[in-house]
Amino acid sequence: MRKFPYFISACVFAGALLAPAGMTQAAGPQGTVYQFTVPKQGGMYADATYYCWLPNNVGTVRTIIVHQHGCTREGDAQQMMSDVQWLSLAKKWHAVFIAPKLITGGPSDGSTKCNNWDDIANGSGNTYLAALDTLARRASHPEIKTVPWALWGHSGGAFWITAMTGAHPERVAVAVAQAGSADISNVPGALKVPLLHHDGKKDMVYNGVPFAAGRKKGALWAFAVNPFPLWVNTPSNPGWSDEVFGHAPHDMRMIAIPWIEAGLQARLPDQAGSAQLKDMDTTKFWLGDTVTYAIGSAADFTGNRSIASWFPDESFAKRWKEYMVIGTQKDSTQPPSPYNLAGSYSNKQLKLTWDSDADLETGIKTFIIYRNGTPLTTLQYNTTTLFTKATGFQRWNDGDNPAPAPAPTMTYTDNNLSDATTYTYQISTVNWSDVAGPKSQVLTLQGGQVTVGVQAPLPSANPASRKSSVFCWGSGACKVSLAAGPVDICDVRGTLLKSLDLPQASLLDVGNLAGAGAPRMLIIRSGHSVRNR
């Protein structure tokens, strides 16, 4: 087992070659990608390139999420800027998402010397710290230099992230090591970092020894194994294979991302931008036997406690047991609702576009298009990945890199429509467990005009009262265009909610008056015409 020294010089080289930042997302969460190069240091073979994604309207950055590729997988780094699932995680936690590109070996040695970067003492630890300084200046977010880290690494990347955890335990909120680990069991601070070691059965030599050494000292560490062979979806030799039994991440993000979330939830400071991590709550932890998969609370567990997996609570213990038995997760939670639904109409065709964040456990498989309240179609995608026969919007490949990259655009065109007919449209996201999420806001097409957020006005049976019923969809804004003059806003029972006398024509948001639920209905009485937007 490799053991690394953990000292990094404070005299980091902060210079970098900058590329212009730009908006690159074709779909999903929107943000800015910063790409720049930091000169190599020490024994590194080549300069390091950093791809960094900052969510739009992030406010104060709370944490840095790092996704470190394995040896000879340098191409994975840029692809991660198109991974809707990881970007959704970063957006939720007001995080910067960083995918470093570190070059393995060189022509003279057959590109086999991974330790020229996975050993942080050879310079890659310093280039990472320099990258944070560069990004903080470039993005005008000085807190990037000091906020806590959440680290994920595969193979050589797993050695890198565990070595960084050993070198900077006070900076690491949570970590996940797939198919590799430096031995940091002698670093007291690292024992307090919730660290998930993950292997396939052929990789257990990497993580088994460091995990056991740490657990015997009370480390807050867990160990998971993908128990099954993988389907290799290659044209030349499709079928089940144990050749990649242990090394590819496969479905491990289904347990890795929840582990990261649990760590961030428990340890991030209450004050955004602060660097002071909280300790994990150890009053409700559970343990799991890595051989029998038996789980129990701290009081009830009967297995060998010194080498059992540690979990923050009962919920994660049950998640771990399911994964250890079936090698994946059955996700029953709904994915989030799509947003930014828009449409353009011409020549009897309506083109819909939208954005959607991913289900953080199981990503996005497809979308359901609803017309007039009933399903019109479920979108079909042709993307395949190395380890599954299923096709869908975006999945993950053998380096946990997304496929396809970039992600498809979120769009659908409905044809052969009538200008004389009113249509309503909604979208729902479906995750890889085939669970559909809540429907989006309603988009209405009436007389060739597109409106979003509310349905077209439904006139009262008594036109003289100038009364209109307004349906507000979803939980967000519900805007109504009103002419100047008196306006009464009532609920569906006629109870007055608000009375206004508008001095001028106004676009009024009545969403906060409509209450919970979807749809929400209001009655608006006015001496003037009412038009929904």
Q: How many CB atoms lie within 10 A of CB 210?
A: 25
Mean predicted confidence (pLDDT) in 522-532 = 48
Over residues 452-474, the pLDDT tens digits come to: 975 433 333 333 334 455 555 44
Between 34-38, 69-73, 127-131, the lowest mean confidence (pLDDT) is in 69-73
CA dist 201 → 46, 215, 318 (Å): 33, 20, 21
Are residues 441 and 426 in contact, defined by beta-carbon separation less than 8 angstroms?
yes
Confidence grade of residue 249 (pLDDT, cut at 50, 70, 90)? confident
Residue among 121, 107, 122 nearest 43 (CA): 122
Q: Is 328 helix (H, G, I), strand (E, B) or coil?
A: coil
Please classify residue 146 by burial: count the beta carbons closer than 10 Å to its beta carbon, then call 0-12 exposed, 13-18 middle and 19+ buried.
middle
Asked if pLDDT for residue 441 goes beyond 50, the answer is yes
Mean predicted confidence (pLDDT) in 397-419 = 92
The secondary structure of 366-413, three-state, reads EEEEEECCEEEEECCCCCCECCECCCCCCEECCCCCEECCCCCCCEEE
Confidence grade of residue 10 (pLDDT, cut at 50, 70, 90)? very low
The pLDDT of residue 113: 77
Angle formed by the axes of helices 124-139 and 156-167, nearest 10°: 80
Mean predicted confidence (pLDDT) in 313-331 = 90
Q: Is 159 helix (H, G, I), strand (E, B) or coil?
A: helix
The pLDDT of residue 521: 53
The pLDDT of residue 197: 93
Q: How many CB atoms lie within 10 A of CB 476?
A: 15
Mean predicted confidence (pLDDT) in 222-237 = 65
Over residues 288-305, the pLDDT tens digits come to: 999 899 999 999 999 999
Percent of the chain with pLDDT over 70: 77
Q: What is the residue whose two structure tokens read 């396939």?
A: 200
The pLDDT of residue 160: 97
Between 129-133, 252-256, 429-433, the lowest mean confidence (pLDDT) is in 252-256
The pLDDT of residue 112: 60
Between 50-64, 391-405, 411-425, the lowest mean confidence (pLDDT) is in 391-405
104 versus 18: the higher-pLDDT residue is 104
Confidence grade of residue 134 (pLDDT, cut at 50, 70, 90)? very high
Asked if pLDDT for residue 243 goes beyond 50, the answer is no
Mean pLDDT, the chain, integer: 83
Asked if pLDDT for residue 355 goes beyond 90, the answer is yes
Asked if pLDDT for residue 419 goes beyond 70, the answer is yes
Mean predicted confidence (pLDDT) in 43-47 = 91
Beta strands 402-403 and 172-178: pairing type?
unpaired
For the chain, the helix, strand and coil percentages under 3-state DSSP, each to the nearest 5: 20, 30, 45
Model-wide pTM > 0.75 = yes
Asked if pLDDT for residue 350 goes beyond 70, the answer is yes
Q: Which residues of 379-392 are buried (b: 16+ CB within 10 A; e: fewer)?
A: bebeebbbbbeeeb
The pLDDT of residue 388: 73
The pLDDT of residue 237: 53
Residue among 203, 222, 245 nearest 320 (CA): 222
Percent of the chain with pLDDT over 90: 61
The pLDDT of residue 481: 67
Q: Which of the residue ranges 148-157, 488-497, 522-531 has the most confident prediction, judged by mean pLDDT?
A: 148-157
State the virtual CA torsion across 161, 162, 166, 171 in degrees, nearest 10.
Answer: 40
Q: What is the residue whose two structure tokens read 């406010």?
A: 59
Decide if domain 17-279 falls under CATH 3.40.50.2000: no
Confidence grade of residue 22 (pLDDT, cut at 50, 70, 90)? very low
Asked if pLDDT for residue 451 goes beyond 50, the answer is yes
Asked if pLDDT for residue 365 goes beyond 50, the answer is yes
363 versus 515: the higher-pLDDT residue is 363
Over residues 89-103, the pLDDT tens digits come to: 999 999 999 999 999
Distance CA 385, CA 151 (A): 25
Asked if pLDDT for residue 519 goes beyond 50, the answer is no
Q: Name the fold adopted by 339-452.
A: Immunoglobulin-like (2.60.40)
Confidence grade of residue 105 (pLDDT, cut at 50, 70, 90)? confident
Mean predicted confidence (pLDDT) in 389-399 = 86
Mean predicted confidence (pLDDT) in 265-271 = 96
